[in-house]
Structure 1
């Protein structure tokens, strides 16, 4: 009788009895396949996250540039408007101080959020922990 085996499975010699060497070989093959799959999972997970971060960074960069141009022009408009009621130098100084405060607040908020970024591929770490736990007690 001919039997088809899945990739990586081997026929059992002696009608159902395996030697210790064959069992150890099978375990070794299974472990190396498992670790290769875990590595591929980690690579895929990091690649997906890097792609998302890249697209988001591109959009934020474009939005930042457009916002920068709007802020510069708006700042000039405020300076010229204030120059109607006070000296132009003082008007420019007031606008610069306001933008300095805004920049400091944005820096602090960005720094706080950056500290919350987790670069570790959590799903992969969890599955590796599960695999290690199984290796300690494969029967139960």
Structure 2
């Protein structure tokens, strides 16, 4: 490994940012720091909000898909129940009992899908970036406290 060179870099401009000590900094330097820090803070909070909304939207989509699956499964359960009624009345044989058992199993599956979907939708609601909002409120409170000194 080579030792760091103190010669200027001729390949391109480099920017070294030196943060002055707040006790010895001028008003202009402090305002510059404040502007940089606020813009960085706003960008970070916006990224957090975007990530949070994306995560909640995914959960909402999964929950809606599970509700759709529950509805389709319930539809097939009704179709099988109708088949059981037809078989029971037409034949008066044990074939309808098998169809009835299948229908009950389909309704149980539909119930499980509906409960899981409800849980996912409840976790994704409301689709607001609550963590980001709380972070911004805390940041505003900190800035207000700092300005009041």
Whether the TM-score (by the shorter chain) exceeds 0.5 is yes
Alpha-carbon distance in structure 1 between the residues aligned to 2:44 and 2:19:
25
Count of matched residue positions in the alignment of Structure 1 and Structure 2 = 103
Q: Tell me which residue corresponds to 2:42.
A: 35
Distance 1:121 1:131, change over 3 A: same
Q: Which runs of 5+ in 1 are unaligned?
A: 3-8, 84-109
Task: Give TM-score, length-normalised by structure 1.
Answer: 0.58
Q: Tell me which residue corresponds to 2:135.
A: 127
Listed one character per residue, the Cα deviations across residues 83-111 of structure 1 (whole Å, up to 9, x for unaligned) are 9xxxxxxxxxxxxxxxxxxxxxxxxxx9x
Q: Tell me which residue corresponds to 2:110.
A: none
| Greater mean deviation of Cα atoms: 72-81 or 41-50 | 72-81
2:17 is equivalent to residue 17 of structure 1 = no
RMSD (CA atoms): 3.3
Higher relative contact order (CA 8 A, sep 6+): 2
Shift of 1:82: 7.5
Q: Which runs of 5+ in 2 are unaligned?
A: 1-5, 7-15, 91-117
Match of 1:56 among 63, 81, 89: 63
Alpha-carbon distance in structure 1 between the residues aligned to 2:20 and 2:131:
38
2:106 is equivalent to residue 74 of structure 1 = no
Alpha-carbon distance in structure 2 between the residues aligned to 1:71 and 1:49:
33
Equivalent residues of 2:45, 2:136 under 8 A apart:
yes
Shift of 1:56: 2.3
